[in-house]
Amino acid sequence: MRSSLLLLGALSSQLVGVCSVFVTWGDSLTFGYDGYPYPMQLEVLTGITTLNRGANGQTSSQIAARFAAEPELFGERIVIWAGRNNVFDHTAVQDDIASMVSKITTSEYLVLGLINRHDEPLGSAGYNAMLATNLDLADTYGDHYIDMQHILVHTFDPLTPVDQQDLNNDVIPDWLEHPDLLHLNSTGYGVVAQTVADYFASVPEPAETTGIVATGCALAALGLRKRRA
């Protein structure tokens, strides 16, 4: 038994960067306010263990503090979706996300842009605050950034008048949203999950995992899930 544990420990140390899990950081948009949250759908789409580090109601500063408390996850595949709950504090959102990114020890990370509420159409104060933050995030993180609001808004039915009106207002179609006008439903979360999966599919794998290595990856991921879920 002891020799088996030593072998697994040695194997796990060799698998850093080879069998990374997804760690999704954020607020209730990540945790899953209702329905089938995107981290769960991401795991199904990719077959890769996904740790949901979303927390309802948290600001970007609170998310950054939780992130800093788990340094053992800095080398995993990381998704950051933070700032919706303090969208009007532009500087704090930028600084908090920068703080998280500065701690990441891999190139496999993604920053998602903020989304607006359905009652925050083009030109409203909430829309302008979201847009200012997203423009800065795009400029700062480049290929590591995805404009999630744009993708969701353009997931519309051009033959449906209400969808066309939503597009004109630059708001997410209501059939992708929860009735509270901000959070997504299972279909909306599916769009996010597919977007994230497609992004990471374009990032080359550090190495192939076959045979005993693949088995070690599965065991290491299971251990992370049990310790950190």
> pLDDT confidence of 8, banded at 50, 70, 90?
very low
Residue bearing the bigger pLDDT, 226 or 182: 182
- Give the model's pLDDT for residue 35: 77
> pLDDT confidence of 165, banded at 50, 70, 90?
very high
What percent of the chain lies above the pLDDT cut of 90?
A: 75
> pLDDT confidence of 154, banded at 50, 70, 90?
very high
d(CA 58, CA 220): 29
Q: What is the pLDDT of residues 113-145, one digit of tens each?
A: 999 999 999 999 999 999 999 999 999 999 999
Strands 109-112 and 22-26: unpaired
- Give the model's pLDDT for residue 157: 85
Calculate the average pLDDT of the chain.
85
- Give the model's pLDDT for residue 229: 44
- Give the model's pLDDT for residue 145: 98
Q: How far is CA 194 from the centre of its chain?
A: 11
What percent of the chain lies above the pLDDT cut of 70?
A: 80
- Give the model's pLDDT for residue 73: 98
What letters, b where the CB count within 10 A reaches 16 and e where it falls short, cover 11-21?
A: bbeebebbbbb
Show the beta-strand stretches assigned E in the chain.
22-26, 50-54, 77-81, 109-112, 145-146
Q: Residue 96 pLDDT > 80, yes or no?
A: yes
Residue bearing the bigger pLDDT, 126 or 3: 126
pTM, two decimals, is: 0.83
> pLDDT confidence of 156, banded at 50, 70, 90?
confident
- Give the model's pLDDT for residue 205: 60
Q: What is the pLDDT of residues 25-62, one digit of tens each?
A: 999 999 998 779 999 999 999 999 999 999 999 999 99
pLDDT, average across residues 182-198: 97
Q: Residue 222 pLDDT > 90, yes or no?
A: no
* Cβ 79 vs Cβ 22: under 8 Å: yes
What is the phi-psi region of residue 31: left when phi exceeds 0, alpha when psi lies from -120 to 50, beta otherwise?
alpha
Q: Residue ranges of the domains in the chain?
A: 20-147+174-208
Domain at 20-147+174-208, CATH class: alpha beta
Q: Which two tokens stand for residue 86?
A: 């303090």
